[in-house]
Amino acid sequence: MLTPGERSDLVKAKARELGFLACGVARAEFLTEEAPRLERWLREARHGEMGYMGNHFDLRLDPRKLVDGAKSVISLAYNYHTPPLQQDSEAPKISTYAYGRDYHKVVKQRLKPLVAFINERFGDVALRTFVDSAPVLEKAWAQRSGVGWVGKHTNIIRQGAGSFFFLCEIILDLELEPDAPVTDHCGTCRRCIDACPTEAITPYGVDGSKCISYFTIELKSAIPEDMAGRFKDWVFGCDICQQVCPWNRFSTPHSEPQFAPKPELMGMSRDEWHGMTEVVFERLFEGSAVKRTKYEGLKRNLRFLRKS
């Protein structure tokens, strides 16, 4: 009979073998500290028009409501770091996480062999996997499981690796030995706070309703006029707070073929972006996270940049 510690070691070794950047374990329990913070964030309308953030409040805070009898939460990180490759420095910019194939599909695919390993090695295990697609507070679990700490920009930072990685979770009814939470290493640094052009970041908090990523992806109505000139050419997402973070000097390029950007996309000029037709949009962003904005959403964002 394997001990919880031995089971954890086996899972982590397999995760490394499968190419995950990090893997940690936390005990499946109610997120006591996060509950009042989430309630306050919602009450202050920091989620803007993202009404879904107010749904399933209890599920977000207790993994045992997502998997009956859950004992452990496995948190994993999957590297997506790609140094910016857009050739025209004046072209509208998209977040590097959206350069290639939609990460939801890629990471979900990469989790499958780990799930198969767990079932083969430990028997009949009840579990569910999550890739930013369900009411799971993934950053809280990443910190609790030792994957990294929540930085002042609220992204997870890992010593020696930075923050350019996706998070995913496996909630399961198997007892695993939990890891110790990671301590904060932001210190007195406030580069992310000072660099944010829309002043969305406060220490360890983000007003989602002011974030460039929110405006260019989540917001369905018109972008507020008072934001004109503040987007720094970002047309889908924003990487500014990560680009200025000193810890990202340790980031290394990913090795995931499906995250490789199309040369045509990287070579597009400023004028080609603004003249993009729907046919070109469908071809360039087939299978991409950029499809979330739809063609009309991207054109709205491009028109807004023209006002700058």
Per residue, what are the HEC states of 95-121?
Answer: CHHHCCCCHHHHHHHHHHHHHHHHHHH
CA dist., res. 145 & res. 163, Å (int): 16
pLDDT grade for 57, boundaries at 50, 70 and 90: confident
CA dist., res. 197 & res. 240, Å (int): 9
CA dist., res. 192 & res. 203, Å (int): 9
Report the helix count and the strand count for the chain, using DSSP H and E: 12, 10
| pLDDT score for 308 | 65
Percentage, residues of the chain above pLDDT 90? 86
| pLDDT score for 42 | 74
| pLDDT score for 51 | 66
Structure tokens belonging to residue 292 = 């979330």
What contacts 57, CB < 8 A, 6 or more positions away?
A: 38, 39, 42
Q: What are phi and psi of 189, to 5 degrees?
A: -60, 140
pLDDT for 257 beyond 80:
yes
pLDDT for 256 beyond 90:
yes
CA dist., res. 97 & res. 237, Å (int): 9
Over residues 194-198, the mean pLDDT reads 98
| pLDDT score for 242 | 98
pLDDT for 55 beyond 80:
no
- For the four alpha carbons of 133, 139, 141 and 146, in that order, the dihedral sign comes to positive
Give the start-end residues of each E strand in the chain: 22-27, 72-79, 93-94, 127-130, 149-150, 156-157, 165-172, 201-202, 205-206, 234-236
Domain boundaries, the chain: 4-81+101-172, 191-306
pLDDT grade for 287, boundaries at 50, 70 and 90: very high
| pLDDT score for 56 | 66
pLDDT for 235 beyond 80:
yes
| pLDDT score for 58 | 81
Q: What are phi and psi of 166, to 5 degrees?
A: -90, 155
CA atoms within 13 A on the CB side of 256: 27
Model pTM greater than 0.85? yes
**Pair type for strands 127-130 and 165-172:** antiparallel
pLDDT for 155 beyond 70:
yes
pLDDT grade for 89, boundaries at 50, 70 and 90: very high
| pLDDT score for 60 | 87
Mean of the per-residue pLDDT values for the chain? 94
Cα radius of gyration (the chain): 20
| pLDDT score for 45 | 65
Over residues 194-219, the mean pLDDT reads 95
Positions annotated as catalytic residues are 132
Does residue 122 contact residue 174 with C-beta atoms inside 8 Å?
Answer: yes
pLDDT for 35 beyond 90:
no
Residue with tokens 């089971």: 7
